[in-house]
Structure 1
Amino acid sequence: MTDAEEPRPDPTAGAGRPSPASALARLEALGGSKKLSRWDRPPDPHDWRWVVGNLGRTLITIGMLMFAFVGYQLWGTGIQEARSQDQLAQDFNQAIHDAGLDTTTTGTGTTPGTGTVSGTAVDTTPTTVANPAEQVFPTGIAPGDAIATIAIPAIGVNKYVVAGVSVKDLRKGVGHFPNTPFPGQLGNAAIAGHRTTYGQPFYRLDKLHKGDEIKISTILGGSYVYMVTSIEEVGKNDYHVISDSNPKKATLTLVTCTPIGTASRRLVVHAALDTARSSQVGKPTLYYGQEPSTVVTTAPPGETPAGGTAEGGSATAESVVPGSNLPATLTTTPGGSTSDGSNPDQAAGFNTPTDAFNQGWFADGRAWPHVIGWGLLLMAVCLGAYQLAKRQRRLWLGFLVGMVPFVVVLYFFFENVNRMLPAAI
């Protein structure tokens, strides 16, 4: 090329990201008076500043995602629980309608859900019932089905109760331990609920006092008023608070985690039935009239067989009750002993953790594929939004188009991550 020849234009100019030379030339042409668009800037040199800058952006992004996950825990899980409660309301009302029942009391006094305690002296001593009634359950009750309503006016609780206390069951609301008598029957009926997530049904359970009312209406048509007798904190493996039961008296136990945000201990509320203001008490029935089978496996000390934890070398294997949808476990009688006459505190089937609060880290291995899948989809949404913004040279357009799919995918990503965390976190 001679001095007279014009320089040839760069064939790559204008295609994709401009070269540093062309970007500088444009800046000089503008007289340096205007700032270059982010799409026209030359790439940053990959020195220590570049490393520190990207590390800072990554940490900020992680922090924002953690704040978003906290928001999901507090409010997102509440949305799930509210949807489930709406469906449970329909199922419960339909069950009552199909059976031709109502939930009004047959005793004297107020109707559960509407009345108050008159006077200042409240007798919370459990009353012995001499002639309990036979109660027939609907066939095919499965874990997660609506079986009752619970109202605690003193702390503003009004929820539907489901059968079972697994992680999946308690996402719908409060759950009934199926290996304890049904509410309104002789013996100790036990109910568990979350304290910080999924609607926080038992968040203020520690605010109850002796004499406060707990009102329960069941799918069998009965309505019952229990009076709080005591509140205590116990260890997370102290299952005697559930199994201890007087076969001649109707009592109720409410269980949740404590302190708030952890599952290290259990907050337990004990209550006794007020027979004068309740429907007729029934004979104790476990597993809603279904017959469970006892399946016990032996494991070496310190090892955990499938479906439980090893204590004293034994645990219960995961199985299903023949002819039903309920998990099998060692049954307990209202008197506090198991079906084979042994102590429930020493019985492998009952001592095995059966409630959602005992789920540890990464307990739900089936969540891994879902977490990975939704995570990859989340990355694809972000990348697609960035490429759109780059092509149109409009950063706001990428944010506008990608925001809705990003939030939707992030919600389902969090939902599956939550399956792998302890229930109290």
Structure 2
Amino acid sequence: MGLTWTSFIGILFVLFQLYGTGVFAYQSQSNLSGKFDAVAPSFELTAMPIFLPTTTITTSTTSTLPPVPTSTVVPSETTLPVESFVPSETTLPPVIDPTMVEQSVAAVSRVTKASQGDVIGRIMAPSIGLDKFIVEGAGATDLRSAIGRYRGTAFIGDKGNVALAGHRTTYGAPFGRIGDLLPGDKINILTPVGTAIYEVLDPVVASKLWAGTVREIGGGYSIVGPSDEFVLADVGDNRLTLTACHPRFSAEERIVVVAQLIGEPFAMLNPEFGKSIAQITTPSTLANGEAATAPVDPSLNPIVSEIDPSFNVVEAPKVIQTLQVSLNGLPNQIAPSIVFALLTLVVMTAIAAASEKFGRLRAYIFGSVPFFIVLWFFFRNLELLLPAY
């Protein structure tokens, strides 16, 4: 009976990893969807200039012109002066849009100052049906809820190499089909500061700096070792690197897909952008210590608060998260796993004893509910303890 129970529980655990973890991933993605919608401003708004458009006011003045000369004037008629309206234009200097400044500051902060586990983007690769949210960090907890950004790599849409990790087998397998990506396929990533578009590179070109270290090259991917951290390094271009365990159900190797950023990096992620905004919105000071103000119509230039010039200083973590961090389990799950394993054993023993006294059918009917409840918690804690693929 022991072997039967062990085999039965083993099969259930495999099914739990393949499908049960997908339930948690689905719930996490639903929660992240609401959070992303709440923190992501209008993409059209963040792409607009900081300044309101230059305002031109057209006014009209009345002037009296002399009568139009005529060759023949009828004595009985009176010729009156002709009045005309002469337009004149007054151009007001451009003014700062305070709403735009506030939106920009908030959007940049959500990218550059995100805490681990915060939702930072949404990745879509139409060719493989990928549409998932991205969180900050590629630790075990992070990847059990979403795709994660290796902390210390570039920001999405910024200069350098932004690296993302995801599971191929468990937790909904968000990167289950990245091996099907081909050169030229587009990958779109929505972020609080805009949408970054990447194009998958030929793996031969993408891995030319890794000569001698790539184990295998496929249509749009490369296979490297589990400790080949060079795939996370900045190689001088603006790229996106997707990583996952390989082969499926194993962490023996890593599959890597590289894509090139189309267009220029986001200007809002450039530290100079923050400095320029601070200079614009911080009033200059006169010799007497008072703030200098321009003679602009107050109704067109609402009060704009001063902005710290350092608000957009990019302070990436000093240490880059390694490929291994995306695989590690959670050591703090050892004790709960042991507790629920013992509880499962107790329930199994009780069912076995009840089957001898009341019959197997009755014992299984009344014992199945507590058995599966305890087993569910045991699987949940054990899965968190073990590496996820």
Same fold (TM over 0.5): yes
Deviation at 1:208, TM superposition (A): 0.7
Contact map agreement 1:161 1:174 (CA 8 A) in 2: yes
Distance in structure 2 (CA, Å) of the matches to 1:172 and 1:409: 23
Contact map agreement 1:173 1:199 (CA 8 A) in 2: no
1:380 aligns with 2:346: yes
Distance in structure 2 (CA, Å) of the matches to 1:214 and 1:144: 22
2:256 aligns with 268
1:412–1:197 distance in 2 versus 1, CA, 3 Å: same
Render the CA deviation track for 1:314-334: whole Å, top value 9, x for unaligned: xxxxxxxxxxxxxx9962xxx
Distance in structure 1 (CA, Å) of the matches to 2:364 and 2:44: 53
Render the CA deviation track for 1:235-272: whole Å, top value 9, x for unaligned: 222211111232xx532111111122211211111111
Deviation at 1:282, TM superposition (A): 4.1
2:365 aligns with 400
Contact map agreement 1:389 1:396 (CA 8 A) in 2: yes
Within a 5 Å distance, the mapping from 1:6-405 to structure 2 comes to 57-96=1-40, 100-102=41-43, 136-138=108-110, 141-218=114-191, 220-230=192-202, 231-246=221-236, 249-275=237-263, 280-283=266-269, 331=318, 349-350=319-320, 355-357=325-327, 359=328, 364-386=330-352, 393-405=358-370
Deviation at 1:149, TM superposition (A): 0.4
Deviation at 1:150, TM superposition (A): 0.5
TM-score in terms of structure 2 length: 0.63
Contact map agreement 1:185 1:282 (CA 8 A) in 2: no
1:422–1:354 distance in 2 versus 1, CA, 3 Å: closer
Deviation at 1:89, TM superposition (A): 0.7
Deviation at 1:417, TM superposition (A): 1.4
Deviation at 1:394, TM superposition (A): 4.3
Distance in structure 2 (CA, Å) of the matches to 1:157 and 1:105: 25
1:104–1:266 distance in 2 versus 1, CA, 3 Å: farther
Distance in structure 2 (CA, Å) of the matches to 1:141 and 1:85: 18
Contact map agreement 2:226 2:323 (CA 8 A) in 1: no
TM-score in terms of structure 1 length: 0.58
Distance in structure 2 (CA, Å) of the matches to 1:364 and 1:93: 30
SS in 2 for 1:355: helix
Which residue of 392, 396, 415 maps to 2:380? Answer: 415
SS in 2 for 1:136: helix
Render the CA deviation track for 1:359-391: whole Å, top value 9, x for unaligned: 3xxx53322210121112223333444555556
Runs of 4+ more than 6 Å apart:
none
Render the CA deviation track for 1:71-111: whole Å, top value 9, x for unaligned: 01100111111111111111111112xxx43379969xxxx
Contact map agreement 1:181 1:284 (CA 8 A) in 2: no
SS in 1 for 2:176: coil
Q: Gapped runs of 5+ residues in structure 2?
A: 49-103, 203-220, 272-314
Distance in structure 2 (CA, Å) of the matches to 1:364 and 1:83: 20
Contact map agreement 1:236 1:264 (CA 8 A) in 2: yes
Contact map agreement 2:226 2:324 (CA 8 A) in 1: no
Distance in structure 2 (CA, Å) of the matches to 1:105 and 1:169: 28
Moved more, 381-390 or 404-413: 381-390
Deviation at 1:421, TM superposition (A): 2.0
1:105–1:140 distance in 2 versus 1, CA, 3 Å: closer
SS in 2 for 1:223: strand
Contact map agreement 1:189 1:253 (CA 8 A) in 2: yes
Distance in structure 2 (CA, Å) of the matches to 1:144 and 1:189: 17
Alignment RMSD: 2.9
Distance in structure 2 (CA, Å) of the matches to 1:103 and 1:73: 41
**Which structure's CA Rg is the greater one?**
2
Contact map agreement 2:150 2:163 (CA 8 A) in 1: yes
